[in-house]
Amino acid sequence: MATNPKVGDRLSYDGAVCTVRYIGEVSGTSGNWLGVEWDDPSRGKHDGSHKGVRYFACRSKSATAASFVRPTRPAEKPQSFVTAVTDKYASELAKTIAIKFSNKVAEEVGFDKIQRKQAQLSELKVVIVDGARIASAYFDGNERISQVCPKIVELDLSRNLFQKLNTVVDICSELQSLRSLRLNGNRFQDIFNDDGLESANDALRGVKDLALEETLMSWEEICHIATKFETLSTLSASANQLSFLPETPLLTLSSTLVSLDLEFNNFTAVANLASLSGLTALRNLHLKGNAISTVTKDPTHNPPIFSSNLRYVDLSYNQISSWKFVDTLPICFPGMTSLRFSHNPIYDNPDPEFSTQSKTITEEAYMFTVGRLANLKTLNFSTISNSDRQDAEVYYLGRIAKHLATVPEGQEADIIKQHKRYAELCELYGEPVVNRRKEINPAFLEARLVTVHFVFHPSTSETDKVVERTTRIPKSFDIYAVKGIAGKLFGAKSLGLRLIWETGEWDPVAGFDDEVEDSSDEEEEEKEEEQREPVISEELGENSQPDGKTGKWVKREVELHDGPRQLGFCVDGLDARIRVEAR
């Protein structure tokens, strides 16, 4: 520790790193104190204020990021980069372990041998010195980095004692093979006036991947650093308390930056990231774990439009609760073909008006998402096959029809406006039938009767004539009584009949659940899809694909088994079609 600590110094106490924010007296106590902000915000006791008096401010928004410690408390000694690497990797040479078989020594060939190989510092390509108390590139007497470990390709310098970025530049300037650099959890100071950073382009030119997570820097500071990496393709800026991205010079990387990670920040709307729309090479955007709930806060504003090269968007673990948000995604991300959308509130209740017990909630949300996004090829890491898409679109269209049935004809246009693909889906699969049911006063006798359309199939012979009869049966009649009525209507022995309720709804055939699992090889799946025989059903003609291939849907039927269960509990509504078959 410095003998006379200053504001801005980085110190380490028992492995916990902090930054000095204040030096002086604290009311009600004697002597001087160091007011420190811990890198781990759960480590402290307050936010820089004590008994109503504020002594300093923290970068962290946490209420427990700060503490007061005595200047006399011993801090851990800082290290140079060369010392930290040597201590970690060269010391492995002393850990040689021998295995004996029948009193004969055999060399260990497992993990320990790998450690000894890594200890050859000059051959090291991956170096991780996270939390090693590094404060400088060298101390007096250290060898040059280019002599000790010149072949480093991936370097992790996270959570160390750096104050200025010029120390990092000094380290990188001697690593000609460096391609990946992680600086997570550091607390760099006075970034815009760092002279070492201004001339860093040559030293950082080869780095393709940069991580600046948990640094608590502003977006302007992050961009100021990132633009010094002229060939940067991947930037990670997660967990930096960001809530809005102003226009910045990051556009100088518009032709190189391919992937941007902004997970676990504080964005609440897609419009907060509108300044990224100029990144023409961007293909992957990670927004997991924010608080995004809408596209724009002001409904009168147009949604931002990102580059058509942007293919993958991760919006999982946000606060999205409206399908209107999903409908707007093709406008914001016109090139999006892959989406991660799980763990949003919309998945908890995807269709509040028409919940179903035949599918899990997650499956319903999957169907609605695929049905609404025509260009999507992958959802939640699962490849969407042609049959998956048809299943989802038919299911979604059927749900629209049910919504239409709940409103008068004059209000249909308002419902259709909520479903942007309605006209397109009608072109593909035909306009759905909307069955409106007249509301009946539950006190009336009519509300306790079910209109049953019996369709009698005397045998399996095609020459036998199908007979239809319609009658009204009280809901309270059990299935034995219903079967007796059917027997009288068709002059048949009631116990020799089978009753099958034709629900009029469509269900996917067995195997649907298996097809929404993760797929590791999209190209192989497409090949298998071409070779796979289509599932054929006589009930699928009216819902076949435009190319003539049948889908994987069948009409749902429910057999009404003999028993005391009442008719009203076996069928939905006050109108039912029941097929009568001779056993």
Q: What is the CATH number of the domain that holds 26?
A: 2.30.30.190
Structure confidence by residue, pLDDT tens digits, 49-66: 988 999 999 999 999 999
Q: In terms of residue numbers, what domain contains 555? A: 445-506+532-582
Cβ partners under 8 Å of residue 387, min gap 6: 515, 529, 551, 552
Domain boundary among 33, 51, 69: 69
Q: Taking the model in full, what pTM does it have?
A: 0.73
Residue closest to 211 by CA, chosen among 128, 272, 281 = 128
Domain final residue pick, 69, 90, 112: 69
Residue 533's pLDDT is: 39
Q: Is residue 79 part of a domain?
A: no
Is residue 464 in a domain?
A: yes
CA dist 440 and 447 (Å) reads 6
CATH number of the domain that residue 574 is part of = 3.10.20.90
**pLDDT, position 573:** 79
Backbone φ and ψ for 204, nearest 5 degrees, come out as -110, 5
Domain count of the fold of the chain = 2
Specify if 141 maps to a domain. no
Q: Residue 229 has what pLDDT?
A: 93
Confirm whether 516 is domain-assigned. no
**Assigned domain for 53 exists:** yes
360: in domain? no
What residues contact residue 538 under an 8 Å CB cut-off, 6+ apart?
A: none
Tell me phi and psi for residue 450, to 5 degrees.
-110, 125
Report the run of H or E that residue 500 belongs to, with start and end: strand 497-508
Q: What is the mean pLDDT of each run of 10 residues along the chain (583 residues)?
A: 80 95 93 95 93 94 95 94 91 51 52 56 93 89 84 97 94 94 96 84 92 96 93 97 88 90 98 94 97 93 95 97 94 97 87 52 86 96 94 90 84 90 92 70 68 82 74 88 89 87 72 42 44 38 42 75 86 87 84
Q: Per residue in 443-473, pLDDT tens? A: 666 568 888 999 998 765 555 678 899 999 9
* Residue 107 buriedness (CB in 10 A; 0-12 / 13-18 / 19+): exposed
Q: Tell whether 542 is covered by a domain.
A: yes
Question: Which of 179, 243, 168 has its CA nearest to residue 207?
Answer: 179
- Predicted pLDDT of residue 494: 84
pLDDT, tens digit (0-9, with 9 covering 90-100), for 117-150: 545 788 999 999 999 999 999 876 667 898 889 9
d(CA 445, CA 204): 83
Domain boundary among 48, 69, 90: 69
Instruction: Output the CA torsion sign for 55, 58, 61, 65.
Output: negative
Q: 452 lies in a domain?
A: yes
- Separation between Cα atoms, residue 390 and residue 371, nearest integer Å: 8
